């Protein structure tokens, strides 16, 4: 699970059209970092989900960290969207929660576990990757 950090502030500061550009750019950056077999999706609002088939938790954490860095390093050009803003490029960060499917788990359990890890990432300062642990 992926959440764009402080996305409401982007909308409030630069306008909803700039927020839409942030969503499009983040999605593009995320997709560019994935394998053809991986499945990225917008989950809702400023949240995304990525399924990494046949990937162990440690590998998924490495992918998540790669995604985090790629989004953080991307400058998003809003100059054509918000001509009144003195800011021409903005950057955003993402928080990620990683969980591994275990035999017998439902899809709902997998999503709940990833969401718990995402909540921990946000609670721990954002712009970070956290994994699901049984004691969350």
List Cβ neighbours of 84 (8 Å cut-off, separation of 6 or more).
none
Is there a catalytic annotation at residue 46? yes
pLDDT (tens digit, 9 = 90+) per residue, 48-106?
A: 999 999 999 999 999 999 999 999 999 999 998 988 878 899 999 999 999 999 888 89
| Catalytic residue chosen out of the listed positions 21, 36, 46, 131 | 46
What's the whole-number average pLDDT of the chain? 95
In this predicted structure, what is the pLDDT of residue 135? 59
Burial 36-53 (b: 16+ CB within 10 A, else e): eeeebeebeebbbbbbbe
Residue 112 has pLDDT above 70, yes or no: yes
> Which residue, 65, 136, 133, 60, is CA-closest to 95?
65
Q: Would strands 2-4 and 47-51 be described as parallel, antiparallel, or unpaired? A: antiparallel
């Amino acid at each position: 699970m992926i959440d764009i950090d402080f996305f409401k502030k982007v909308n409030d500061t630069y306008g909803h059209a700039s927020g839409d550009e942030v969503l499009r750019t983040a999605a593009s950056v995320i997709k560019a970092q994935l394998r053809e077999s991986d499945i990225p999706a917008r989950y809702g609002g400023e949240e995304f989900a990525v399924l990494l088939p046949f990937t162990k938790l440690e590998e998924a954490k490495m992918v998540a960290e790669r995604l985090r860095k790629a989004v953080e390093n991307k400058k998003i050009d809003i100059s054509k969207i918000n001509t009144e803003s003195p800011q021409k490029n903005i950057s955003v960060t993402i928080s990620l929660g990683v969980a591994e499917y275990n035999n017998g788990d439902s899809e709902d359990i997998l999503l709940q576990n990833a969401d718990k890890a995402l909540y921990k990432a946000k609670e721990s300062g954002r712009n970070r990757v956290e994994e699901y642990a049984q004691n969350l």
